Each structure stands twice: as C-alpha cells, then as structure tokens.
A and B are shown apart, each in its own frame.
Chain A
Amino acid sequence: AQSVTQLDSQVPVFEEAPVELRCNYSSSVSVYLFWYVQYPNQGLQLLLKYLSGSTLVKGINGFEAEFNKSQTSFHLRKPSVHISDTAEYFCAVSENQAGTALIFGKGTTLSVSS
C-alpha cells in the first residue's frame, strides 16, 4: 500500500517570493506521483505528474517538482508566486499501473499575500 505525507499543513508567503511544498511518500512498489491544486468549492486540477524519465517535472502555472527516489520525495516548487496561487495543494501517489486509484496527502494550504 502507498501513503503520502505532506509535511506542511499551511504555508504563508508573500507575493513574488519562492515557495516549496514538501511531499514524501512510501510504497513497496514503483509509483506514479502527482500534484493537484484545488480552489475553494471546486474539483481538482492536475498541476504536474511524474510517470517515468526525467526526475524534474514541469507543470502548469510555473510550477515544477523533482522526484527523488532515494529520499522518497516529490517536492513542489515555484520561483515566484502570485496572489492567484492561493489554494489547497495535494500530493498524490499511485502504483505505476494504469487504472489504479490515487492516494492523497492531507493537503497544504498555500496563502499568498501582498
């Protein structure tokens, strides 16, 4: 079974500052990794994913994440955040097989202020 730990429940930052949202996972098998964003009262939008290949993954809205197998981490980063990035961010993991469910971390609330 897989599990995901998001180390920070809340991350407050100022606009244009860099941010890193941390995610660690555990699994006995190879995995796929994902970051999703959720705005209030909405569903989830995929930011980026790691399936295989390059460990540095670039996603939408200027976000990127790096898969580190030795540290079982998949931290999300953005060099300069905007007010509009304020949202809930979820890290998720699944077995590296199509059709398997995603297991989510508890989420990190990113609050960007001016």
Chain B
Amino acid sequence: GAVVSQHPSWVICKSGTSVKIECRSLDFQATTMFWYRQFPKQSLMLMATSNEGSKATYEQGVEKDKFLINHASLTLSTLTVTSAHPEDSSFYICSARDLGAGRAGANVLTFGAGSRLTVL
C-alpha cells in the first residue's frame, strides 16, 4: 500500500534556528500534500496544502514566513520552521493522496509517522 515517510522523526533545536522536515511519498506520486500540526492530547490542525510546482495554500492564522513549504517534486514536500521558538514545539504530520488510487481511493490520505519538534 501507499507509504509516506517523514524525516526526521525527532528533532531538538535551539531557539532561533531553522528546522526542515521532509515528507516523501515512497511508492506513489502526489500532486498535493497536507501539513498538520498536533499539540499534546489534541487534534490535528491543518496548517497548509502543499501543491507541486506552485505556492502552498495556508490556513488562516498560520504564518507563511515562519512555516515555509516547498513541494519541488511529485514525491517530496518540505516544511521549514524558520527562527524556531519554544512555542513552535509540536508534532508535525504530513499526508498525501495517491493519484493512482482511482475512484476506490478517492480522497483517502496516507499519513506519515510524524516529526516531533522540540525547541529549547
């Protein structure tokens, strides 16, 4: 089945530094990937929709300049948290839809295992 890989799974960084998280679809192509953020014991909040070859679409309240999203190919999207601060510490999860899944897979998203960011 479809697999989405996220890297790194855990990252600790100092305040003020930038961190890049990669999201790869391993065995399928995805023109659209979604980035979610999850706080402890809470639900997943959609941050942005990443579109291959074009700018990402951000949800209201999400800072575009802080959370840079690049979708350079059909199998890779990256999320860069710039000038990270402790309040950016969270669990970031990406997801993608298998273009080749056809009607049976309509809008079924495959999720990565998530990346836990801790900013000191």
The chain A residues found within 8 Å of chain B, CB to CB, are 32, 34, 36, 41-46, 49, 51, 90, 94, 96-107
Contacts and interface: CB of A to CB of B under 8 A. Distances in A.
Given A41-B116, A101-B49, A46 B108 contact: yes
B113 A105 contact: no
Interface in B65-120: 93, 95, 97, 106-114, 116
Contact of B34 (A90, A98, A101): A101
Contacts of B106: 32, 51, 96, 98
Interface of B: 4, 6, 31-32, 34, 36, 42-46, 49, 93, 95, 97, 106-114, 116
A106 B43 contact: yes
A42 B114 contact: yes
Contacts of A34: 108
A105 B107 contact: no
B44 A90 contact: yes
A44 B42 contact: no
B112 to A, nearest CB: 5
Of the candidates A32, A100, A101, the one having the most CB atoms from chain B within 10 angstroms of its own CB is: A101
Nearest to B101: A98
B91 to A, nearest CB: 8
A95 to B, nearest CB: 8
Nearest to B94: A43
B109 A102 contact: yes
B43 A104 contact: yes
7 contacts: A43-B112, A44-B111, A99-B107, A101-B49, A102-B34, A102-B46, A104-B44
A98 B97 contact: yes
Contacts of B49: 101
A43 B107 contact: no
Contacts of B31: 99
Nearest to A46: B108
B43 A107 contact: yes
